[in-house]
Structure 1
Amino acid sequence: MAPRKNGRLLFNEVPQGSSYPVPGKTTVYDDSEKIDLDNVPLNGGFLLKTLVLSIDPYIRGRMRDISRTNHTYSSPTSQEHREVIAHGVGVVVRSEDATVKAGDHIYGFLDFVEYSVKPNMQGLKVLKNEENLPWSVYVGVAGMPGQTAYTAWKEYADAKKGETVFVTTGGGKQTMFVVQLAKVDGLKVIACAGSDEKVKFMKEIGADVAFNYKTTPVAEVLKKEGPIDVYWDNVGGETLEAAINAASTGARLIECGMSSDYNNSVPYHVKNLFQIIPKSLKVYGFSVTALLEKYVTAFYEEVPKKLANGEIKYTEDVTQGLEGAGEAILAVLKGTNTGKKVILVAQE
């Protein structure tokens, strides 16, 4: 077989200050590289064809100067002029690794490139997909976003029937699952999102109160519908401040992200942190990697089955091809995506 193009999305330069990544500048699609699928050396590894990639806000956190180590995330894995990295699913084309064979589907951190040679299975997982779900689901509700929701809810929510939870960005891939987990546990769910379409979806999956935070003040809703016993935070900033004001004594604040500061050079300073003391608030910051080992078996036994039979609902916003990945990253950061944003790189 003749060499073929091997398209990729390159992290080209660090976004300046509080600006959003600029497609074509911050990230650049490049198809100048070629690959010979039959003869590329594997050196004991395997050749992987990328099928689907996940677009998540943490990608922006990795787009920084390598000298910045004091940051929400670990040292940047997307250095300039290298492929962008995120969770994805690929299929093995050729293998010299005894642990995987051609046709196996692999999940884990993948480069934004059509084909790549992996030296080993470190950090990767073979997916069985006995339910025959779309592979895109395994970078969404059945992947890292879903694992984030499942593990932290089980570990920290201490949910009791009749309590109230406030979920931010409730139309997102991870938080749509939190809404449904909370309803299973018998909680009243207040959820906010940045578009009327997402608000509609939150109501469809069970949210008792759903509103557009761009047109309705968060503090007013929480004053009317609270107090809240659990807070799932993806936003930080003024929304976190409003949640603390509305929190009941002993409430649990699960800090998953602070997207309001991702593009701010000067972070918002929450003014009412003192209330943590008299209200006996429990504040949990976490990363899914720290919790996953404890829950991973139960997750894969439970979640794909519930997705297949419709017990768990989800939506996707699909971009076709790596050429559109830069715009997809920008859409997620601005909140203009209409579901879990995925890049469909290739068919089987």
Structure 2
Amino acid sequence: MAPVRNTRVLFNEYAEGYPIPGKTLVVDKSETIDLEGAPLKNGQVLVKTIAISVDPYQRGRMSEPGKTTSGDAYELGKPLVNYVVVKVIRSENPDFAPGQHVYGMGDFSEYQILTDLSTWKVLPETRGTPWSAYVGVLGMPGQTAFYGWKEAAHAKKGETIYISTAAGAVGSMVVQIAKADGLKVIASAGTESKLQFLRELGADVVFNYKTTNVEDVLKEHGPIDIYWDNAGGKSLDAALANLNTFGRVVKIGSISSYNSKPEPIYNTETILWKRIIIRGVLVFDHHEQYLDEFYATFPPKVAKGEIKYVEHVVRSLDETPQLVLDQQKGNNTGKAVIVLADE
């Protein structure tokens, strides 16, 4: 077989403010790969990319080294990296067979050769659930929701939770987990279509944070026992002022400051006199504790329609730079995902 084109999305320039399509991220079509003849070393596998996750935290890695907020800076001139589902084409690794679908941290490219597969997981062959779900509701965002709930929310039936940017991949999962556990849910989003989605999920109070004052809503419908913080900034400040004594903040993101200077927080004194616990949750800290339980519990629920989710899908790497920008600006509806193949 003749070599085929291997389109990639490269990290081209450090971002200041929002990432700019064609400047921060560029689509490269110069590379080719021989799918049959490319040499594989012992332990390596050649894979075809099926689905790629686009997540808010990635903006933090587009800053210069030393200024990042979400891990190491992306490497200039190299492909963007995030969670992917891939299909094995050829394998020199006994743990991975051709035809299997595998989940892990990979390049934004059509094909790639994987060497270190220590953190990659073979996915079950499912019917009725698209592979893209495994980078969203059944991937890192869903795991973040589940792990954070188990590890840091310490929720009790009858309590009240406020979830910011609740229509996103993580927040929408938390809405459903909280309702299933008997909590009152206050949820915010930035468009009417997202608010309608939250109503369909069962949220008790929904509001548009762009047009409604967060603190006014929390004063009317709170106080709250848990704040699930995807936003930071003014939302966090309002939550601190309206948390009950011994309230909890589960911090998993700060979208308000990814593309601009952080907003000041004024209500920090409440942390002391209300004895508030603020806990940051990163998904990779808790795989050993909760991953098996997550995969045993949630794929069947998703397959049966018991867990609802929405995807914002593009079907080519050419569209990726714009999708990244749209997500940072909140213009996507549902989990942002690139789907390059269905099987």
Per the normalisation by structure 1, the TM-score is 0.96
What is the aligned counterpart of 2:216 among 210, 215, 220? 220
* Count of matched residue positions in the alignment of Structure 1 and Structure 2: 342
What is the identity, as a one-letter code, of the residue corresponding to 1:201?
Answer: F
* 2:24 aligned residue: 26
Give the SS at the match of 1:220.
helix
Q: How does 1:64-143 map to 2 (within 5 A)?
A: 64-66=63-65, 68=66, 71-76=68-73, 78-143=74-139
* 2:15 aligned residue: 15
Give the SS at the match of 2:273.
coil
What is the CA-CA distance between 1:71 and the residue it aligns to?
Answer: 4.1
What is the CA-CA distance between 1:347 and the residue it aligns to?
Answer: 3.6
Deviation digits for residues 97-119 of structure 1 (CA, Å, limit 9, x no counterpart)? 11111001110111000000111
* 2:268 aligned residue: 273
Deviation digits for residues 61-95 of structure 1 (CA, Å, limit 9, x no counterpart)? 111223x1x6432222x211100001010000001
* 1:39 aligned residue: 37
Segment drifting more, 81-90 vs 283-292: 283-292
What is the identity, as a one-letter code, of the residue corresponding to 2:70?
Answer: Y
What is the identity, as a one-letter code, of the residue corresponding to 1:184?
Answer: A
What is the aligned counterpart of 2:339 among 337, 344, 348? 344
* 1:335 aligned residue: 330
What is the aligned counterpart of 1:149 among 145, 150, 155? 145
Partners of 2:334 and 2:126 lie apart in 1 by: 24
Alpha-carbon contact 1:52-1:90 (below 8 Å) kept: yes
What is the identity, as a one-letter code, of the residue corresponding to 1:36?
Answer: D
* 1:295 aligned residue: 290
Aligned CA RMSD, in angstroms, stands at: 1.1
What is the CA-CA distance between 1:246 and the residue it aligns to?
Answer: 0.7
The answer as to 2:226 corresponding to 1:230 is yes
Partners of 2:132 and 2:309 lie apart in 1 by: 11
User: Compared with structure 1, are the counterparts of its residues 98 and 120 closer, same or farther at alpha carbon in structure 2 (3 Å cutoff)?
Assistant: farther
Partners of 1:202 and 1:111 lie apart in 2 by: 32
Alpha-carbon contact 2:48-2:86 (below 8 Å) kept: yes
What is the aligned counterpart of 2:318 among 290, 314, 323? 323
What is the CA-CA distance between 1:9 and the residue it aligns to?
Answer: 0.3
List, as ranges, runs of 4+ consecutive aligned residues in structure 1 with deviation greater than 4 Å. Answer: none
* 1:6 aligned residue: 6
Give the SS at the match of 1:284.
strand
Alpha-carbon contact 1:321-1:346 (below 8 Å) kept: no
The answer as to 2:190 corresponding to 1:190 is no
What is the CA-CA distance between 1:310 and the residue it aligns to?
Answer: 1.2
Deviation digits for residues 258-277 of structure 1 (CA, Å, limit 9, x no counterpart)? 1111112x322201111101
Deviation digits for residues 147-190 of structure 1 (CA, Å, limit 9, x no counterpart)? 00001101111111111000001100111000000001100000
Per the normalisation by structure 2, the TM-score is 0.98
Partners of 2:342 and 2:202 lie apart in 1 by: 33
* 1:164 aligned residue: 160
What is the identity, as a one-letter code, of the residue corresponding to 2:51?
Answer: V
Alpha-carbon contact 2:245-2:276 (below 8 Å) kept: yes
Alpha-carbon contact 2:201-2:308 (below 8 Å) kept: yes
| Identical pairs, percent | 47
* 1:307 aligned residue: 302
Give the SS at the match of 2:250.
strand
The answer as to 2:252 corresponding to 1:256 is yes
Partners of 1:289 and 1:339 lie apart in 2 by: 23
* 2:170 aligned residue: 174
* 1:247 aligned residue: 243
Unaligned ranges ≥5, structure 1: none
Q: How does 1:52-63 map to 2 (within 5 A)?
A: 52-63=51-62
Partners of 2:34 and 2:60 lie apart in 1 by: 34
Alpha-carbon contact 2:18-2:325 (below 8 Å) kept: yes
Alpha-carbon contact 1:131-1:304 (below 8 Å) kept: no
What is the aligned counterpart of 2:280 among 281, 285, 288? 285
Give the SS at the match of 1:137.
helix
